[in-house]
A = this chain, B = another copy of it.
Amino acid sequence: MPRRIASGDGKPRPATIKDVARHAGVSVATVSRILSGTYPNAPATRSKVMRAVRELDYVPNAHARGLAGVRPKSVAIVVNSVISPHYAHVAQGVHEEAARAGRLCIVGTTGGDLERELAAIQLMREEHAEAVILVGNINPDEAYRERMAGYARALAAAGSQLVLCGRPPLGPDVPAIVVEYDNTGGAFAATSHLLSAGHKRILFLGRRFGYTTPESRVAGYRAALAAHGVPHDPGLEVDGARMVRREGYRMMRERLDARPRDFTAVFAINDLIAAGAREALRERGLRIPEDVSMVGFDDLPPAADIDLTTVYIPHEELGRTAVRLALKSETPGASEHVLLGTHIVVRDSVCPNVGEASGPD
């Protein structure tokens, strides 16, 4: 039965190491050493102390320990949102690996707002976490680079390892571990898959300038067209804003409203966009894959539900790798660059193209 120490005014307060020391009849140093387990100690003393710990229900104070120079057992992660499946899966990987190493996770969300991201990092500097993992797509303009580089150096000075996850390096002189996945290769494979089925008019849905992830995927799309000797029509690249289902619906619907259909296949920049576009096509009586072929990107839950052929990203592996590398590096401020592979997952959303090279109708 744990008994709580009563302070002067009768309110219970958590037991401290001093209480344990008094209870066990030893000094605080002895208690500390026995609990840390890294110093020689006599079995008799040890059992006395452990009993006191149990009886008083003592847990060490993380703040005091942190102050005393022990790096806190925590990993910080900054994501756009925790309900966006990609971020959630990366976060899951981070949590798994962190839990395995006995670490807690400190999570900050940004809603895609750069200022909120920087504010979160600032708060995390105060926490002195072992690692600060920034995940996801970003618009890396010059001002951002400047500020983030400063934060990177500040984190290194505070002893925290910065990790960029699915985001390009900040520059050669900025200390950070970078864990990326192969966007361009995945987009190349997806586009090639459609091209091999005979499609030549492939709509790219969700282009977005300035953001690294969409740009890499567009690059893969174009490279595949070039490799197959299919002419590139910029008119087939549709710009999108947010990477959500509704936006996919909007893009496809507006496209179909604006002009006759001039494509036989769609490469959606991610599965959510694909799901939205699919809905807009269905409203027009167009079915997948009979009338229109489609490939997505991400291989997240909606893909399986709608039988979508898509590109698999090792979401959780990204998170796990980020934590592993960060905890491995002794000296914060390490630099490293890892690229994880992607691959295509074939389901039932692509049919051979039997129509005209320039499209149906």
Contacts and interface: CB of A to CB of B under 8 A. Distances in A.
Contact of A128 (B62, B74, B91): B62
| Main SS class of interface, A | helix
A355 interface: no
A106 interface: yes
Interface string A108-140: 110000001000101111111000000000000
Nearest to A66: B63
Given A81-B92, A83-B88, A83-B92, A59 B14 contact: no
Contact of A154 (B57, B65, B67, B106): B57
A302 interface: yes
Interface in A146-191: 150, 153-154, 156-158
A107 B108 contact: no
Interface in A31-66: 57, 59-66
A59 B66 CA distance: 16
Contact of A157 (B14, B74, B91): B14
Interface string A69-112: 00011100000011101001101100110010000111111000
Contacts of A60: 126
A14 B158 contact: yes
A99 B275 CA distance: 30
A99 B108 CA distance: 8
A17 to B, nearest CB: 12
A60 to B, nearest CB: 6
Contacts of A12: 153, 156-157
Contacts of A122: 59
A28 interface: no
Given A62-B126, A74-B106, 9 more contacts: A11-B157, A13-B157, A14-B154, A14-B157, A59-B125, A73-B123, A83-B88, A106-B107, A305-B306
